[in-house]
Structure 1
């Protein structure tokens, strides 16, 4: 037990020395900036699907967010749906990817700092690569939400169209929370392995990936409970109409801190097992 405490303190000391909270703040800021253009991009895509109206899309988006953010989400989606986003698809796509890519670029810089790697790639190349990782991140979000939120709809569709594989899809949907957990672990493994300038060995990133996945889920649950029953009113008195954005920024900030703490765990894991690590 004492050894675990000592190891945890070493990880935390390096976390503080590397100024990971600064990188976490950068990532959170740029993710917030990319939210509106990303919703615009989704609205544009929705217009190309005849079976989903803007009203239905608004209902789905508002249903996904926590209670504290529902009014903000409704206002944002409603305002954007009235701006005829179909005429802005190219600008919207570039803006969303560039803004969100800047957040992933900050993640890359933070991971380089953790592993002691310099930034050797050109800035433009880095930004393009990070924009590509952002697309992967969006796909992961869509896949996770599809399993968790639309699992029953997917199952009904598969039963009606492909009854032969209905049993298989039933088992997949029944364990969708576990599948979402596995998707998150794979996502963190990908970030820790491929985002830094110097590619690392995949299996050496597993401890941090598991820690970050469990940490994100546990913190999100605790955060929701705290602000639903204790802290929400205090923040509403202080920030007024900006409360939802402030809470979202805080949640993102601490989630990013967990991500970078997981990277520090991987760094010390390589020190404990140097013979198994090959960068």
Structure 2
């Protein structure tokens, strides 16, 4: 109990030092800039991967409000994905915008761990781009997990002879796969983004917190937007963009909070030695 209290005090002290809300606003901005280039990039990769866009949209739909999903679907339908030039532009746009977001995350994590960032602009940008490429590869690999899960379900259905209701139940478990995807992506982000490079075992709790908190906050925010909030009445045609911005802003707060939790718990482990 005493250790938990010490972690809480250390966490709160670091939380006040790190500019959580300002950095979360930066992340929300960069997330919006990189969202559609990243989706275009995935669309152009689909012919080479055993996944389809419906699966990606289903995975996003497990967390996103209906208005956000409508915005994403509408914009993707208006894009020509067979244009190789569009693929090149989407790669450049994704790398540049997402690397800005990774830079902001790295600064937040370094501040939380008490690490001074002494890299030059060029080195920091190159490191951020390498991390961005790594995170994109992790996301693509993680998106393949539901595909393999469906293959396993079909194999068990045909080999063992389960009833058709088994496939229906198996299909409803996609939210488990979505949670696992989110957990994997965050785990590598918390591992790779800080300059100190903590071990995987040292970032598990922050990853678990962020995964659970993101699902809870997304569900609550989606319920509010879909049933209670009327952003269109206040912001007009920008209502959906505002919803997306707030959704990403909450996401940024949760990511940074998970990093601060990892730093606080690591500090307590060091004090025990």
Q: TM-score range by the shorter chain?
A: 0.7 to 0.9
Which secondary structure does the structure 2 equivalent of 1:33 belong to? helix
CA contact (8 A) 1:28 1:249 kept: yes
CA contact (8 A) 1:147 1:180 kept: no
Match of 2:224 among 212, 223, 226: 226
Q: 1:43 to 1:274 in 2, by over 3 A?
A: closer
Structure 1 unaligned residues grouped into runs of 5+ = none
CA contact (8 A) 2:150 2:171 kept: no
RMSD: 3.7
Match of 1:249 among 231, 236, 245: 245
- Aligned twin of 1:78: 77
Q: 1:96 to 1:229 in 2, by over 3 A?
A: same
Which secondary structure does the structure 2 equivalent of 1:245 belong to? helix
CA contact (8 A) 1:215 1:258 kept: yes
Q: TM-score of the superposition, structure 2-length normalised?
A: 0.78
CA contact (8 A) 1:192 1:263 kept: yes
- Aligned twin of 1:68: 67
Match of 1:266 among 246, 262, 265: 262
Structure 2 unaligned residues grouped into runs of 5+ = none
Distance 2:16 2:74 in 1: 38
CA contact (8 A) 1:105 1:130 kept: yes
CA contact (8 A) 1:31 1:103 kept: yes
- Aligned twin of 1:23: 23
- Aligned twin of 1:240: 236
Q: 1:165 to 1:194 in 2, by over 3 A?
A: farther
- Which structure has the higher relative contact order (CA within 8 Å, separation 6+)? 2
Distance 2:182 2:124 in 1: 24
Number of corresponding residues: 264
- Aligned twin of 2:43: 43
Q: 1:4 to 1:49 in 2, by over 3 A?
A: closer
Distance 2:32 2:175 in 1: 26
The Cα of 1:241 is off from its aligned counterpart by 1.8
Q: 1:3 to 1:269 in 2, by over 3 A?
A: closer
Q: Please show how residues 173-188 of structure 1 align to structure 2 within 5 Å.
A: 177-188=175-186
